């Protein structure tokens, strides 16, 4: 899953679209916020406190391109997601994406 730190002065959606392009070669339009995950509430060691924003995006151009931040750029059908190869953080966020995909009325996730 593409991700990275925000550039000062850019919106979260602009940062998300830039990270997708840098790491995959795809141009995306950010459509909606799917969740905000507070890494201090996760059982995953974090070097600093941060909020991870999860967005729905739509591919509007580009092509799969490897970068110095990606080893592979692949699409998976839901039934072929390699769950056992995901980090705990990616696993949790992707579980929310699948829940939302199956029921688009699912509200955005946030740590309460």
The answer to whether 28 and 61 are in contact (CB under 8 A) is no
Between the alpha carbon of residue 56 and those of residues 37, 44, 47, 71, 87, the distances in Å are: 15, 24, 26, 22, 20
pLDDT of the residue at 8:
94
The string of DSSP letters for 57-94 reads EEEEEE-----TT-S------GGG--GGGS-HHHHHHH
Q: Which domains does the chain have, with CATH numbers?
A: 12-110 (3.90.79.10)
pLDDT over threshold 70, residue 92:
yes
pLDDT of the residue at 43:
66
pLDDT in tens, 10-56: 999 999 999 999 999 999 999 999 999 998 877 666 677 888 999 99
Q: Which three-class secondary structure state does DSSP give residue 101? A: helix
Please give the share of the chain, as a percent, with pLDDT higher than 70: 96
This model's pTM is above 0.85:
yes
pLDDT over threshold 90, residue 87:
no
Query: In whole angstroms, what is the distance from residue 12 CA to residue 7 CA?
Result: 9
């Amino acid at each position: 899953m593409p991700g990275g730190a925000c550039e000062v002065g850019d919106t979260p959606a602009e940062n998300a679209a830039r990270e997708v392009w840098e790491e995959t070669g795809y141009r995306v339009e950010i459509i909606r916020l799917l969740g905000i995950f507070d890494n201090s509430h996760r059982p995953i060691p974090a070097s600093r406190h941060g909020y991870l924003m999860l967005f729905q995006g739509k591919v509007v151009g580009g092509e799969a391109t490897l970068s110095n931040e990606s080893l592979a750029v692949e699409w998976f059908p839901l039934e072929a997601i390699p769950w056992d190869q995901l980090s705990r953080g990616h696993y949790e966020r992707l579980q929310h994406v699948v829940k939302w995909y199956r029921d688009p009325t699912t509200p955005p996730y946030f740590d309460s």
